[in-house]
Structure 1
Amino acid sequence: MTSVERIDEYGDLTPEEDNGGGSGRLVETSADWPSRGEIRFHNYSLHYQSNEEATLKSLNLVINPAEKVGIIGRAGKSSVFQGLLRLVNRSCIDGEILIDDVDIGRVTLKHLRSQISVIPQNPVLFSGTLRFNLDPLEIYTDEQCWKVLEIVRLKEMVFNHPQALHMPIAESGHNLSSGQCQLVCVSRALLRQSRILLIDEATANVDHETDEFLQTLIVDKIKDRTVLTIAHRLNTVRNNDRLLLLNDGKVVDFDVPDKVLNHL
């Protein structure tokens, strides 16, 4: 009955705001938006409830195209991702976030979220085939799937399986190791070729070898994408271009890793 209660609750959820904040405010973007992946926060503040203190407070910063930025600090890291994905009602937001000079509050949620890839801390896999987990909407070719599997060093394992791309994946990926599960999620993100990639400490629950490989992959193999990484361990972002240090929802420092880490 708990499952029935949850389904009933989800059926009554209030739809997310998706009208650009007012009638007629939605804008059309170019077919290749975002083509650069520049992100600008302009006087941006975020509350989770309108009567609560802001979690992010007057952020003003520019993340350059293809830049690798690690986000560190005691509070506000996840809120940056919540803001970029518009997971908070517009009434709880002040200021704006621009991606390639377009206010993300003025594009539809479907369009915005389809242009941003996310690698979560805990890998998300579904019962079905590997092919389905990589490309559930069947947008990409088998050749493209093989290419990303080769990049993340899973090609040999999949090739040697009798069913190859159609090898079965158990619920939550229980028939794979934790490292393999995360690499499948990385493959899925790479396949989408989004200009912006959000990573929530993707190496937190994997072995040391996979950890090092993913860090190298992010810095060296994804050079054309803007990558934001929430870091719970400083060693995972030492090779990033810049570190964003947040404290109490404010920007304390935003500079090259050596300078930021010297302030800790």
Structure 2
Amino acid sequence: TNPAGRMLNRFSKDMGAMDELLPKSIMDSTQTILTIIGAMVVVMVVQPYFIVPILVLLAILLYARSIYMKTSQNTRRLEGITRSPIFSHIATTLHGLSTIRSFQVQSLLISEFEQHQNVNTGANFMFHSGRFAFGMVLDLIFFVFLAIVVFSFLLMQTDALGDKVGLVVTQITALAGSIQFGIRQSAEMFNHLIAVERLLEYRGLPSEKQPTQDSTALAKVKQWPSSGGIQFKGVNFKYIEEAPLVLRNLCFEIKPKEKIGIVGRTGAGKSSIIGSLFRTALIEGSITIDEVDTAELTLETLRSSISIIPQDPVLFSGTLRKNLDPFDRYSDEVLWRSLELVELKDIAGPLGLQSHVAAGGSNFSVGQRQLLCLARAILRENKILVLDEATANVDPETDRLIQQTIREQFVDCTVLTIAHRLNTIMDYDRVLVMSEGTAVEFGTPRELLEIPNGVFRDIVLATGPAEAENLMNMARKI
């Protein structure tokens, strides 16, 4: 995976270099090189003997440039590489700013930022030091050439006129700045091409593997999914090719309209089930929804057919309407009804659906953001709803409202809930217990609690005597 800072670096700094700096350096180097050629032609017309030293001068300049380019390109590439951690650090710091302040570790984060900044500054200093050194070498070459020109008039042409000598010296003097600027700009042009190289590297990244069109089986049904039945057959799942499997030979079947809770300890593979369902990484085996293999569907068809409410709700900068209905598919009445169902009608304010939503929904509480995502899921009316620890960070009242809305509005839907609070799934139809990437238990909450030394029973008992007793009573009432 690529860190956010690396992508920000390439699509901001590198994109700016390609759009703004590269065209300018191409134009400057072209104009300067043509000016240099014109001045050299004048010198050669006045004194044909200068053809040889001028050719020697060009050879020396090109050789010096080739040496400089090796250093310059490598240091420019190093500067770009060391810039990415700075962007990543800033992005992650802003994302976790409240946590950083809560634990009072500002000095630690500042120290880490300074380390990244020092490394990048060192690479940048090395790059500019090379530029200045290259400029000094060009100046030295120019002065040597000027001395050769002046002495050649004295040694080779005794009747040299003052106007000719003055013209040649004037032209060569004019070449001083032009040569240095032109050679440097041509080098800068190739340095800026590194930005193009880095962007083309991302352009060449392989996209997610998917069929070019949906399965023919999908064309035979009017609506898919129509009921929401899900079946996993021998599913192996991993995030990258070289990584170990996070799901191993996973097999289970979920009936239409069932409410399934998914539990397990940290790293058991709960969220990976959701990842495999959405085909976010490498999958072996078969996952079918209403008897249609998801591997035969395009990603757009598959992912748009499943609603999800993640632990960290996703809201975009814009209006309330655009966050609920980004494609303008629903009327205002339908949007107001969805807000009313999640008890958020009052947050709209005087502007109504045109109320402003800040980036990330920062002008709403965490609970309100989750409820907005729930309202969005109600609008979609998909037959499958996934909750990835959606109530882990909300207050009990918002948790109660979310659970109530799910039970009332998603009666005819299949619901998969990765549970952080066990009380939210004790009245579910069945519970899937994960451990080390495999399904170790699958049954009703009551059945699993009756298994001696069962994994689910141990998880419930670990909540404490009072809470465990309350959870068991909830399971017995089903």
Q: Decide: shared fold, TM above 0.5.
A: yes
Determine the structure 1 residue equivalent to 2:437: 249
Q: 1:162 aligns with which of 339, 347, 350?
A: 350
Contact 1:85–1:112, Cα closer than 8 Å, also in 2: yes
**Runs of 5+ unmatched residues, structure 1:** none
CA displacement at 1:55 relative to structure 2: 1.4
Determine the structure 2 residue equivalent to 1:82: 275
Structure 1 vs Structure 2 CA RMSD: 2.0
Determine the structure 2 residue equivalent to 1:17: 209
Residue identity (%): 46
| Alpha-carbon distance in 2 for matches of 1:260, 1:215 | 22
| Alpha-carbon distance in 1 for matches of 2:336, 2:370 | 17
Greater shift after overlay, 3-12 or 206-215?
Answer: 3-12
Kindly report which structure 2 residues correspond to 1:51-62, keeping only aligned pairs within 5 A, or say none.
51-62=242-253
CA displacement at 1:140 relative to structure 2: 1.4
Secondary structure of 1:61's aligned partner = strand
CA displacement at 1:173 relative to structure 2: 1.1
| Alpha-carbon distance in 2 for matches of 1:189, 1:169 | 18
| Alpha-carbon distance in 1 for matches of 2:417, 2:203 | 33
| Alpha-carbon distance in 2 for matches of 1:13, 1:242 | 41
| Alpha-carbon distance in 1 for matches of 2:214, 2:312 | 36
Secondary structure of 1:78's aligned partner = helix
Cα 1:205–1:6 change in 2 (3 A) is: farther
Determine the structure 2 residue equivalent to 1:121: 311
Determine the structure 2 residue equivalent to 1:27: 216
Contact 1:219–1:239, Cα closer than 8 Å, also in 2: no
| Alpha-carbon distance in 1 for matches of 2:388, 2:290 | 23
Q: Which has the larger radius of gyration?
A: 2
| Alpha-carbon distance in 2 for matches of 1:14, 1:84 | 21
Contact 1:69–1:242, Cα closer than 8 Å, also in 2: yes
Secondary structure of 2:448's aligned partner = helix
| Alpha-carbon distance in 1 for matches of 2:269, 2:427 | 22
| Alpha-carbon distance in 1 for matches of 2:384, 2:237 | 21
**Runs of 5+ unmatched residues, structure 2:** 13-198, 459-478
Determine the structure 2 residue equivalent to 1:140: 330
| Alpha-carbon distance in 2 for matches of 1:134, 1:116 | 16
Q: 2:379 aligns with which of 191, 197, 207?
A: 191
Q: Which one has a larger percent helix, Structure 1 or Structure 2? A: 2
Determine the structure 2 residue equivalent to 1:97: 287
Residue identity opposite 1:214 in structure 2 = I
1:122-177: per-residue Cα shift (whole Å, max 9, x none)? 1111111100000111111111111111110112333xx11111111111111112
* TM-score (normalizing by structure 2): 0.51
| Alpha-carbon distance in 1 for matches of 2:427, 2:11 | 43
CA displacement at 1:28 relative to structure 2: 4.7
1:223 matched to 2:228: no
Q: 1:68 aligns with which of 239, 259, 277?
A: 259
Contact 2:378–2:409, Cα closer than 8 Å, also in 1: no
Residue identity opposite 1:132 in structure 2 = K
Contact 1:68–1:219, Cα closer than 8 Å, also in 2: no
Contact 1:28–1:107, Cα closer than 8 Å, also in 2: no
* TM-score (normalizing by structure 1): 0.90
| Alpha-carbon distance in 2 for matches of 1:58, 1:248 | 11
| Alpha-carbon distance in 2 for matches of 1:204, 1:261 | 23
| Alpha-carbon distance in 2 for matches of 1:113, 1:80 | 14
| Alpha-carbon distance in 1 for matches of 2:301, 2:390 | 24
